[in-house]
A = this chain, B = another copy of it.
Amino acid sequence: MNELDLVDRLRRLSLPSTDLILGIGDDCAIYRPRAGEELLFTTDQMIEGVHFTRKQPASSIGERALARSLSDIAAMGGEPRFCIVAMAAADTKWINDFYRGLLRLAKRTGTTLAGGDLARDEKVRCDVMVCGSAPRGKALRRDGARVGDSIFVSGRLGKPWDRRIEPRLELGKSLRGLATACIDLSDGLSLDLHRLCAASGVAAEIDRVPVMKGSSIERALHGGEDYELLFTGTKAPKGVTRIGRVVRGEAGKIQFQGRLLERRGYDHFYE
């Protein structure tokens, strides 16, 4: 199989889209924006030896690569529109399996594969850019938390790494006009809540955290890769847990059960 065959195959497998005037196969994809929409853009890398190993099935790596970016779209209250995938690998079977996993999730979430770039390299890596859409002015941001807001989290925290990511797209959409701020938990509650509070210029007090069965409070507070939504507001949909409240104080300072919570989440460049 050569690059042209691979690209042809992906073009046939990709979900059709009325907004995507031109998809895979030209120098650029062309997207025609809908009236009144704002577009959301996010990207996430998966690198062999850093984010995964070749022991894991390629299809689950493909699914995860898209899921991580979709989680960012969920955190902004967006609906996915399309994705663009850059990938380097040497094994065409691996690449096909990767795309099978990615395209399965893409189909389920209404995400069209619009294009990408392929390179040959022994070390596998990929980068998935997703474009999402939200009505003008309705996207959720991380800088709107207000003193007195409650803090909520979806699901239970402390996921083992190999657990499948289910991007919280429906929840994110339902938070439009309801949440004052929102972020997805990718680097751990302590670091991501700090980021939300720092952006909003507020502090927070956490009373309790819903811990996943078999996990620990440590992992729930500081472990990354939960991909649940953390948000603030006065009301919340059913099925989420109130974990604390937004308070006046040093921007980004977090207390857990009366004590200062260290930030020990994942920072690639912390030295």
Interface residues, chain A, with chain B CB atoms under 8 Å away: 1-4, 6, 21-22, 25-33, 37-45, 47, 49-51, 72-73, 75-76, 78, 84, 86, 88, 92, 114-121, 123, 125, 127, 129, 131-132, 134, 136, 139, 141-143, 183-184, 199, 267-271
Contact = CB atoms under 8 A, between A and B. Distances in A.
Given A26-B142, A72-B27, A123-B123, A38 B32 contact: yes
Nearest to A125: B125
Top 5 closest A-B pairs, CB basis?
A33-B33, A28-B40, A3-B269, A27-B72, A86-B127
Given A28-B73, A76-B27, A43 B3 contact: no
Contacts of A47: 88, 119, 121
Contact of A271 (B2, B22, B84, B118): B2
Given A45-B117, A118-B269, A121-B47, A30 B26 contact: no
- Interface centre among A1, A41, A73, by most chain B C-beta atoms within 10 angstroms, is A41
A37 B33 contact: yes
Given A2-B270, A43-B86, A141-B26, A127 B118 contact: no
Contacts of A141: 22, 26
